[in-house]
Structures are given as structure tokens and as C-alpha cells.
Structure 1
Amino acid sequence: MTVAVLPPELRSELHLRPMRRDDAARWAVLLAAVEEVDRRDEHYDADDCAEELADPDLDLGRDTLVVLDGAGDKSVAVAYQVLRLRGRDAEGARMFTDAAVHPAYRRRGIGAALLAVALDRARELGATLLMRVPETNAGAVGLAERTGMGPVRWWSRLDRDLAEPITPALVPTGLMVASLGPPYDAARWDEPLRAAHNNAFADHWGSAPVSRQAWAHWRTGSRSFRPGCSAVATTADGEIAGYVLGYEYGADTERTGRRDLYVDTVGTVAAHRGRGVAAAVLAHVLHAARGLGYDTSSLTVDAQNPTGALGVYERAGYRLHRREITFATPSSHP
């Protein structure tokens, strides 16, 4: 990674280096400060951050940076950046940047310095750089636009009150729906689920095949995975037609005082689309979540998803909460 150059007036005050696994606690403190201002309804504790830093596909030395104020154990994180390369397809490689600056340190050139590093790294790898930000974050939107990036995708964060009635959904003929646990049987389900996911998302914008290692780390091996609020629709011979994976983030529950089931992934294998598979599995999951004491459910959907996913979620009782925009370097503009 190209070394970031902070504005001259900050170089005696701040310093930066690649992130390390022992940065989890200071990263969590920074994210909490960012959430207080940006209000993205995202809360992380040190264990969540440790899981992020243990990503088997993340090169901490080349694709992460943390900006620190102070020295040694007393230093505090005031900005960070994590870059993730998400494979190659017919449109080329895509690199996603996840970054933020502490509200008290904004408008001092730190974000621009980090973004310059991301742009250099993307060019080095021949990748399109993508950055997703809330449409209400004028500073982040302005930074992307000043850098020459343009909007390419819009996302909707949807919420649902589980106290409201859950509309039953008929299970398609020839299929049956069942929970994935507890306990979750990784030996039985991990590979079939991964294969179904890679099939279901093969034609989705920004998606790339998920490796075994990444699937185990991020999907079913995550500390936030809730198999009792996850389900599959299978054929008579046991093949997966569709699935829903649900997660609960402890830091969210602690901060908000309510239990939210985040529906991270809803997939239908291409051969079974148009039969109501997703609606049936999602209804099963929502009933299970309500029975287990969850108060709400949330998810994020690509507003331009060609499979009609937004309509499925609206019919299931989800309502718009906020929107986000993905900006990309010029080569990928529509």
C-alpha cells in the first residue's frame, strides 16, 4: 500500500500505521464516536472488531491503516481505513473501502489522505474502487465527488417491527422449510449453503464467489450467526432451493436495549426463482425470531436488484429506514 501522507500541519500531532489485531478495542471506541454523529444504527464491540481483523482474506500490512493521536498504549484511534478486494468478473476487479474519521478530527484532510491511498492501491491492482456512504453524510459524499468518483448503486436499509402481524407465505410445492439449528451442523450445511449462495448471487452486482475459508469466518462461523433464526428450503432429495441467514449483534442489543435480527443474506438458487421461495423462508425466520424474543428485524437491499427483492421485503412488512450510495471510480460509471 502507498504510504498515506497526512497534511503537514498534522504530522507532529498524528501518526499512522497498518492496523494490528490488538487494535480491536481502540477501533471499537472510534466506531462508537462515529456512530454518535453519523447515526447509521451500527454498533460494534471489541470482539466484533477482533473478528473483522481476523478476516483470513485481509492483508493487514498492505490494506489497512489507522491514524493515531498520542503514543504507545495511550494512543487513540482517530481514523481508519480497510480495503477489501472482492474478486474479478467480466467487469474487472472491485476493491471496497471502509473508512471513517472521528467527528472531532474531520475537515482537516485526513479522509482525503486515506482515500488517496485507496485510489493508489486500486490502481496498483487494476481494480475499480468503491465506497458506500449514507446519502445524508454530506462530507463523505462531497469527498467522493471531489475525487472524481460517481454514484453507481443505491441501497435501502429496511426495518420491521416484529410485534406487527407476519403474513404467512405458502411453501412452494415440492419444497420444505426448516431452521438451521440450534445447534448448527457445519459439516452438513456449510458446503451446500456456500454452493447455493454462489449460485444465487452469481448475477448480482458487486458479488464474487465466496471461498470456504471466508464462508466459515463471515457467515456460519461468526459469533453473531443465529442458526435458530436462519433457515433453508430444500427439495425432496435435500438440495437447497433457497436460504436465509440471520444475525444478532450483541453491541447493538446493549446499546439500544432491543433485540434486532439482522437478515444478512437471502438467496434463491436460480432454478427456483419466481416460485415464492424467499418469501416462504423469510416468513419462517420472522416467526422464529418473534418466538425467540426479538423485537425487530432489519436488512439492507440493493434498490436496483433485478430479482425483485425489494418487493419481497416490503410484502413481508419491512419499511424504509435510510438510504446509502455506492460511489465508484470513473471506469465503472454506467
Structure 2
Amino acid sequence: MATNLSVRSYAGDRDLSAIADLINTCEAVDRLEEGISISELQQEFNQPSLDLARDICLWEDASGKLIGFAQLSISEPAEVTDGWLWFRVHPQMRGGDVEASAIAWGEVRMREVSAVRGSPVKLRSSTRADECDRISLLTSCGFKADRYFFRMARSLAEPIPEPQFPEGFVLRQFPGEEDAEAWVEMFNQSFIDHWNHHDLTVEKFKYHFAQPDYRNDLDLIAVAADGTFAAFCYCEINPEENDRTGRNEGWIAVLGTRRGFRKLGLGRAMLLAGLQRLKAAGVETAILGVDAANPSGALRLYESAGFHNIRNSISYIKDV
């Protein structure tokens, strides 16, 4: 680390403006669609699993200007703990010490987690496939490509087929917070077979449920005849993000069918129902992300529903 740079922990809300400014300065150069507002950043930092004192790190120059930011999202205790490292460095300060220092900080923090939990840890970081400098940095620091993802889009001006639900299943809006445990159990049973699954907790679910952009009309479930939550499609619209980009987009944030209810057509029906709700909300384009090697056939489903790939990204991993 250069002698004119200092490193410190997050100091609370007084740092929010400087962090948002740094991220948006990087966005103006990188065009990664990762800009942020202070309110969005505050929501991110209020996540129940984030240790503000240990999971955020800041780098400043000699004048006290923020030139680097890193954050770790650490999975719940399990056989292996993952830490997802996200970091941004001011464009004028890249190619020096700060990027390597951010990665080294992430490694040290994950070793602390390993010592406390007594389990192996892995450090992860993702990048768009066209971020050549970031890819070179990660590989030079010992990361290896682990998984590939697509971002897909579909115009909602195109016709949306009517959802066809199997006999005995009913489409409903999520009843509310009192059914949080049933929703979380459905989510975990739906993704238990997927790559790098970590169980969702009721605490995390309730945190997201309480966010200001949450809309019950976009939170859909398919209920079996016996009352079991069998499949779901949760959609999101972020007005602040749409204002930044000048586009009118909504997300198919999560879509899943639990074990024992697959191969019945529920996934397609829930997807189409979600698209109809986004269109009814005035959205012009639906966006989603998908694991390119998803074993459930999700990519084929999305393509058959009119989605096309608009961006590739890569998840990198390092044993620490």
C-alpha cells in the first residue's frame, strides 16, 4: 500500500455520500449499470447479515478523498462459507495498490470467518465478461473462473401467452409476512439442487419484504390443492434504477418450483404470470439473470418465452 493512502472501516451514515459518489464516478467511466443512490446504498447496508464494522473497507488518499471501496457478503454458516467480494476503485487510481489491497482484505476477513466458524471458506467475485482489466486482476490474484451467467431481456410489447396451470393449482399473491416461513421453505426446496445454493433465512426474507420497493402484486405463488406453496415468481421494479438508466425495466427476480412439483408446467405458468404483472404495472422490458449451466432447463424455458441474451458475466472463485 502506498504511503499516502490510508485504510479504514466504515464509519456509519456519514460515509454514505462519499461511497455513492465513488460508485457513480466509476459507473460514468465503466458503464456497467452499477450506479447507486444514497437510499439504495443505505438499504444495502441495512441487511441483517452484514457486519458493518468488519464487512466494509474504505481507502482514502492523503487529502481524505475516498478512492476505494470494498464489501463482503458472507453466506450463512454451512459446510463451506462463501464470501462475495464487490469492490470499486476510482478510475484515476486503478492499476496501483488499491485493487490488490481490496482482494487481500477480503482474504483476511474470510480467514477470520473460517477461524470463528471452524469451516473452510471461499472468496468469490463476479465480473462482466467484457471487463478485461478486472478479469486480468482476478486471475493474477489467484482466482479461477467458476460459473457463467447470462442477463436476458424480453420486450413486453410482444404478446404474452396466457398461463396454463396444472389442474389443482391456483395462482395467488403472497399472503403476507405471517407466511414467511412457508415461503422460505418453498424457496430453499426449490433451489436446493442448484449451484452454490445457500439457504435463505426467515430474517433475510423479512428484511427484503419490508423494503420500500416491494410490491405484493408482483409476488406470486402457485398453491397446490393441499395448501402447499409449490412454485413462485417474484418480480421487482426499481424506480430509482429506471430513472438513472432512462429505461423502463422490471425484473423477474426469482422464479422456482419446489421438489416434487417439477415437470408439471408450473415454471412456465409462473413466468408468464409474472410477465403479465410487469406489463400491467407499465413496464416495457423484462430482465432476468440465469446460470448458463442451470440443470433445470431454465435457459431453454426463458428462450422459449421470448427472452434473449444481452450480457455475459463470470463468477470467479479462490480458496483462502
On whether the aligned pair clears a TM of 0.5, the verdict is: yes
The reply on whether 1:110 has 2:101 as its aligned counterpart is no
Judge conservation of contact 1:134–1:323 (CA < 8 Å) in 2: yes
Quote the Cα distance in structure 2 between the aligned partners of 1:297 and 1:29.
Answer: 28
The reply on whether 1:286 has 2:265 as its aligned counterpart is no
- Which is worse superposed, 156-165 or 22-31? 22-31
Secondary structure, counterpart of 1:37 in structure 2: helix
Unaligned runs of 5+ in 1: 1-5
Select 2:188's aligned residue among 184, 194, 198.
198
Q: Is the 8 A contact 1:241 1:269 kept in 2?
A: yes
Write the mapping of 1:172-191 to structure 2, written as runs, cut at 5 A: 172-180=166-174, 185-187=176-178, 189-191=179-181
User: Which whole-Å CA distance do the structure 2 matches of 1:154 and 1:88 have between them?
Assistant: 25
CA offset at residue 69 of structure 1? 4.0
Out of 12, 16, 29, which is 2:21 matched to?
Answer: 29
Provide closer, same or farther for how the CA distance between residues 318 and 41 of structure 1 changes in structure 2, counting only shifts above 3 A.
Answer: farther
Letter in 2 for 1:308: G
C-alpha contact (below 8 Å) 2:143/2:316 kept by paired residues: yes
Specify the SS of the correspondent of 1:62. coil
- How many pairs align? 313
Is residue 230–residue 244 contact of structure 1 (8 Å, CA) maintained in 2?
yes
Gap change, CA 1:316 and 1:43, over 3 Å in 2: farther
Task: Identify the residue that residue 61 of structure 1 maps to in structure 2.
Answer: 53
1:227–1:245: 8 Å Cα contact kept in structure 2?
no
| Alignment-mate amino acid for residue 129 of structure 1 | L
SS at match of 1:273: coil
Correspondence for 2:148: 154
Shift of 1:248: 1.6
Is 2:108 the counterpart of 1:120? yes
Aligned to 1:18: 9
2:128 aligned partner, one-letter code: P
Residue 42 of structure 1 is aligned with which of 34, 39, 44? 34
Shift of 1:70: 6.3
Deviation at 1:330, TM superposition (A): 4.9
Q: Deviations over 1:246-304 (max 9, x none)?
A: 11222212112333111221111111111111111111111111112111111111111
The aligned counterpart of 2:304 is: 315
Kept in 1: contact 2:235–2:278 (CA 8 A)? no
Compute the displacement of 1:327 (Å): 0.8
Q: Which amino acid aligns with 1:157?
A: R
Matches within 5 A, 1:120-139: 120-124=108-112, 125=114, 126-139=120-133
Separation in structure 2 between the aligned mates of residue 225 and residue 172 of structure 1, nearest angstrom:
28
For the residues of structure 2 that align with 1:274 and 1:298, how far apart are their CA atoms?
A: 24
Find the aligned partners of 1:226 and 1:68 in 2 and give their Cα distance: 39
Q: Distance in 1 between matches of 2:158 and 2:18?
A: 39
Contact 2:123 2:319 (C-alpha < 8 Å) held by counterparts: no
Q: Is 1:165 equivalent to 2:159 in the alignment?
A: yes
> Distance between the aligned counterparts of 1:89 and 1:274, measured in 2?
30
Counterpart mapping for 1:228-247 below 5 A: 228-247=217-236
> For 2:157, what is the secondary structure of its paired residue?
coil
TM-score for the superposition, normalised by structure 1: 0.88
Determine if contact 1:166/1:317 at 8 Å carries over to the other structure: no
